[in-house]
Amino acid sequence: MSKTMVERGGYLVAGLIILGALALAGCLEADTRGGEEPDEVVIQGTPTWDNGIGELLQLKCGVCHSVPPNKISPEGIPQTFDLNVQTTRSDGVLGAQDILTSIQFVVAEGIMPKEQATPLTDGEKSAIQAWDGS
Partner 1 sequence: MVKTCGALFYRLDWLRLAIGLAAVLAALQWASGAARAVTFIEQAERLQHINAFLLDLRPGQPPRVPDETVLDFALEILPAPDIDNRVGAKDEPIASPAAIPRLRLRYITASGFMVGGTWNPDVEFEGYRAPWTGWEVGYRFVLAGLHTELRLFAISVQVVGPIADKGAEDEFDVYNRGGDLRLGVPLGTAMIYAGGGEGRSESTLRIESDGARLDAETTYTYILAGVGGEWGPMTFTYEQYWSEDYLQHYSISASVRF
The binding site for ligand HEC (CB under 6 A) comprises 60-61, 63-65, 74, 76-78, 83, 99, 102-103, 106-107, 112-114, 116-117, 120
Q: List the alpha helices (DSSP H) in 52-134.
A: 53-57, 100-108, 122-130
The whole-angstrom separation of Cα 82 and Cα 93 is 7
Cβ–Cβ under 8 Å, residues 97 and 133: yes
In the complex, what is the shortest distance from the CB of residue 109 to partner 1, in angstroms, rounded to a whole number?
15
Q: Which does 108 bind (CB under 5 to 8 A by kind): ligand HEC, partner 1, none?
A: none
Give the footprint of partner 1 on this chain (CB under 8 A): 7-8, 11-12, 14-16, 18-19, 22-23, 25-40, 59, 63, 71-72, 74-75, 113-119
In the complex, what is the shortest distance from the CB of residue 14 to partner 1, in angstroms, rounded to a whole number?
6
Question: What is the distance of C-alpha 101 from the center of its chain?
Answer: 24
The whole-angstrom separation of Cα 24 and Cα 106 is 49
